[in-house]
Amino acid sequence: MKQAVSTSVTRRSVVAALALAAAPVAVSMGADNAYAQAKQSTPEKSLYERLGGVFAIAAVVDHFSDAVVKNPIVGQKSKNPQLREWHTKNLGRLPGLKFMRTLWVCNVSGGPYQFTATKPGTTPLGLEEAHRDLRISPAEFDEVAAELGRTLDFFKVPKKEKGEVLAAFAAHKDEVTAGYGSGR
């Protein structure tokens, strides 16, 4: 028993001595270098964590979804008859859509929730099939992205995270607009 205690104390003493010896080196390297080294050893949080997790994401999705319904270009007064109909006659489905959008954002931002397409398509997320009948044009997609940007600003999402969310959204433009031009 005595040997284990003395070994433990010896190890602590060595660690303490090393820490004291390293302190002047860190100071002499300059605060910026020490900060950079500390930052490198700490893994960056996922986008999901930086956005505030599921509850913060759900609040953003709720606000965004309601804003899209009211948006004059892609919502209830849209010139696109499919979007106009969805945003006037299918609002009973909006709570489910908000849920699915929340799962999607949680999934693509590195969170613990898994999004599974309700209409599987050729892409992993199946967004082309879910949106095909809406015949969304590239310009309409861009307006929805702009609405998302305004929502992120409303919630004061930092610039870096806002950029990452918008990039994740934009990455699926071809899928979402796959039905455009088919019978419009």
Could you state, in chain order, the average pLDDT of each consecutive group of 10 residues for the chain (184 residues)?
42 37 41 56 90 98 98 96 95 95 95 87 77 94 98 98 96 93 64
pLDDT at 38: 55
Burial of 21 from C-beta contacts in 10 A (0-12 / 13-18 / 19+): exposed
pLDDT at 11: 40
161 is written with which tokens? Answer: 């995270």
Residue with tokens 């009973």: 92
Dihedral over alpha carbons 91, 139, 180, 119 (to 10 degrees): -50
pLDDT at 33: 57
- Going by C-alpha positions, the residue among 170, 171, 165, 151 that lies closest to residue 68 is 151
